[in-house]
Every structure is written in C-alpha cells, then in structure tokens.
Homo-oligomer: A and B are copies of this chain.
Amino acid sequence: MAEGTQDGPVIDDGYVPPTEAVVALLGVLAYGTLVAFDRIAADARMAPDLRRRAMHSAMAAVEIGNYQRLADRLTELGADPDGAMAPFAGPLDAYHDSTQPRDWLEGLVKAYVGDGIADDFYREVARVLAPRDRELVLDVLHDTRYEDFASAEIRAAIAADPKVANRLALWARRLMGEALSQAQHVAAERDELTMLVLHGSGDIAGVMDLIKRLTAAHTDRMTSLGLNN
C-alpha cells in the first residue's frame, strides 16, 4: 500500500473537544460510510468477472459495519444519527455525483485515491479526540486489504496497456480537486469541525501544513500506482 500520512502523535494538552464537534465529525464520517457503501456497491457491477465483483462488493460491505459503530456512538453521545448526518449529505452526495466512475478501473482509482485522502484527513483529526473516539475513528479507516487489491489491479491494467495511465492520472486529479472542493463545503456546514481541525493543527499555518501533508501523501499514492505523470 501507499504510505499515506502516519498516525501523528496524540495531542494530549488537556483539551477536551466539545461534544458538538465530535458529533459533527462522527456525523460526516457516518454519512460518508453510508454513501460509500451505496456507490461502491453500484461500482461493483462494472467488474470484469465475478471474483472481482465479489471483492469490490466486500469492500462496500465493510462500510456498513463501520456505519453501525459510528451510529451507535452517536446515539451514546445523545445525538440522533440521522440528524448528525443530515448537514453533510449535500456536499458528500455532490462529491459522488460529480465523480461517477465510467468503468471498473475508474471505480478502483476512486476507491483507492478517494478513500486514501479521506483516511489521511480523519487520521489527522483523530489526534485531538479523546481516546475512545480516537480509536473508533482509526478503526473505521479503510482496510489495507482492499487498498492492496485496488492498487494491484490498477498497476496490472497499466502494465497491460500503458495508455491507461494517462487517463487514470487525469481522473485521479479530478477526484482530488472535487474532494478538496467538497471538503470546504463540509467544513462550512459546521464551525465545530473547523475548530477541531484548527486545534489539531495549532493555527492557520498548521492547517496549511496539514494540507501539504495530505497533498504529499496523495502524490505518494499516485506514484505507487504509476500515475505520476
């Protein structure tokens, strides 16, 4: 697998994130898993054979287990999962609507690249959470087993037909662009989320560093796929 960002040091400065901020973070994560389930399940139809279709479907199924854990925790925090997710349905649906894969390979790149960016972001934000929520967030990050499957498939397709790399590189850039654009809408929905990221990063310069780290990790992933042209 590509490296992504590392689990940073836990920020243990006595700061306790307000419940509304944790609810907002778990809410966006929960809606993200629910919509990812739906989209990845649909993309599985484009698989060239039943073995690959099953693997892609299994990738989708994991999302629902994660959703359940997030929804349970939201309920425990006194929040209604539907209400916690609702503000983020717009931007997350918009991301997926604007990045509908046209074939199997685009679907794999989307799962690999898109989930990679999201995981890196959540891994960073998790650092400011209390231990229990931090562990939950780190647990629901995507399974490397599926990342390995997706990246092996993409590399094999490029090896078989190098022209594919150019098209997929363009596609991955579009995914990154749409992800960044919708991330701003997500942040705009809830100030608490912005405050959480800001606290984890220290200040605005820290946020810039965070964006740099996410971009660098994305570039690493692209290189590992042979998509860095």
Contact = CB atoms under 8 A, between A and B. Distances in A.
Interface of A: 31, 34, 37-38, 41-42, 44-45, 49-51, 53-54, 57-58, 60-61, 63-65, 67-68, 71, 81-82, 85-86, 89
Nearest to A31: B50
Q: Pick the 4 closest A-B CB pairs, nearest first.
A: A41-B41, A61-B61, A61-B64, A50-B82
Contacts of A64: 54, 57-58, 60-61
A131 B89 CA distance: 47
A151 to B, nearest CB: 21
Number of copies: 2
Contacts of A89: 50
Nearest to A86: B50
Given A51-B81, A54-B68, A58-B64, 14 more contacts: A31-B50, A34-B53, A37-B57, A38-B45, A41-B42, A49-B82, A50-B82, A51-B82, A54-B67, A54-B71, A58-B67, A60-B64, A61-B61, A61-B64
A72 B210 CA distance: 43
A37 B41 contact: yes
A48 to B, nearest CB: 11
Contacts of A71: 54
Contacts of A57: 34, 37-38, 64, 67
A124 B55 CA distance: 30
A68 B60 contact: no
A37 B61 contact: yes
Contacts of A53: 34
